[in-house]
Amino acid sequence: MVAAAPKVSYEECRRKRLEENQKRMEALNLPQLAQRSGRIANMPVPVYKEVVVDRINSPRRIYTRRDPSNIVYASNEAREYALEQAEELQSTLGPQYPTLVKTMLPSHVSGGFWLGLPVQFCKTSLPKNDGLITLVDEEGEEFPTVYLARKTGLSGGWKGFAVAHELNDGDALVFQLIKPTVLKVYIIRVSSYDEGEKF
């Protein structure tokens, strides 16, 4: 039969553990480092201030939800046709205002509703900080959107624009910067391929 080890009190175990920890700290030279600490060296206590960041507020619009199962995917030919028409339109706009052409993908017009923009266009033409960018359609209706500078794209508000204009996969959009935070948007429908429209 094995004899039971004598019970050691909690305080005795704690004292031994503290001694072991003190030896480890001395071996690592931590007591000397702690004396150099600003809190121990009688330096002023740091003051942490809460910084209030203004949210970007834009008016809310209510849109009917789009059923992602009803998405019609554009053929490569139709997509290319819409892109060519958009580039032709872009060439008529003149060089005084920066422009870009963007072909819509499913993630732009359903589900995620995020519109990434070309980095070079953002760096040279758009604000350096997050803010509101207003999209103006061909009828002059304005749609405020949230521009995220570091992510180079449009977030909040873009869904409203896409849904209101019933954008589809393959539609080509021409964006023209008419003011520092205003983009005029021209829409070339991918469906124009079947209709053979000319712009």
> For the segment 52-75, what is each residue's pLDDT rounded down to a tens digit?
655 655 555 544 555 555 667 878
Q: Residue 79: pLDDT above 70?
A: yes
Mean pLDDT in residue range 153-179 = 92
Please give the biggest Cα pair distance in the chain. 101
- Structure token pair of residue 180: 């520092």
Question: For the chain, what percentages of helix, strand and coil (3-state, to nearest 5) are there?
Answer: 35, 20, 50
Which pLDDT score, from 0 to 100, does residue 102 have?
A: 94
Phi (first) and psi of residue 27, to 5 degrees = -65, -30
Mean pLDDT in residue range 35-41 = 58
How distant, in Å, are the alpha carbons of 8, 121, 163, 166 from that of 63?
A: 71, 29, 7, 11
DSSP H stretches of helix in 29-75? 30-35
Pairwise pLDDT comparison (9 vs 1), residue with the higher score: 9
Phi (first) and psi of residue 148, to 5 degrees = -105, 105
Question: Quick check: 95 and 154 in contact, CB under 8 A?
Answer: no
**Domain range list for the chain:** 76-197
Which pLDDT score, from 0 to 100, does residue 38 have?
A: 55
Q: What is the mean pLDDT of the chain?
A: 82
Which pLDDT score, from 0 to 100, does residue 198 have?
A: 47
Q: What is the pairing mode between strands 131-136 and 182-188? A: parallel
Chain-centroid distance of CA 6 in Å reads 64
CATH superfamily of 76-197: DNA-binding pseudobarrel domain (2.40.330.10)
Which pLDDT score, from 0 to 100, does residue 63 have?
A: 47
Q: Residue 17: pLDDT above 50?
A: yes
**In the chain, % of residues over pLDDT 70:** 75
Which pLDDT score, from 0 to 100, does residue 42 have?
A: 66
Q: Residue 169: pLDDT above 80?
A: yes
First to last CA, the chain: 100
- Structure token pair of residue 83: 């892109």
Q: Residue 190: pLDDT above 60?
A: yes
Which pLDDT score, from 0 to 100, does residue 111 have?
A: 75
Task: Kindly report each contact of residues 155-159 with a partner whose C-beta sits within 8 Å and lies 24 or more positions away, as own/partner.
Answer: 155/114, 156/56, 156/58, 157/58, 157/132, 158/108, 158/113, 158/114, 158/115, 159/63, 159/113
Kindly give, in sequence order, each residue whose CB lies less than 8 Å from that of residue 127, ignoring residues fewer than 6 positions away: 133, 147, 149, 180, 181
Q: Residue 101: pLDDT above 70?
A: yes
- Structure confidence by residue, pLDDT tens digits, 127-151: 999 999 999 999 999 999 999 999 9
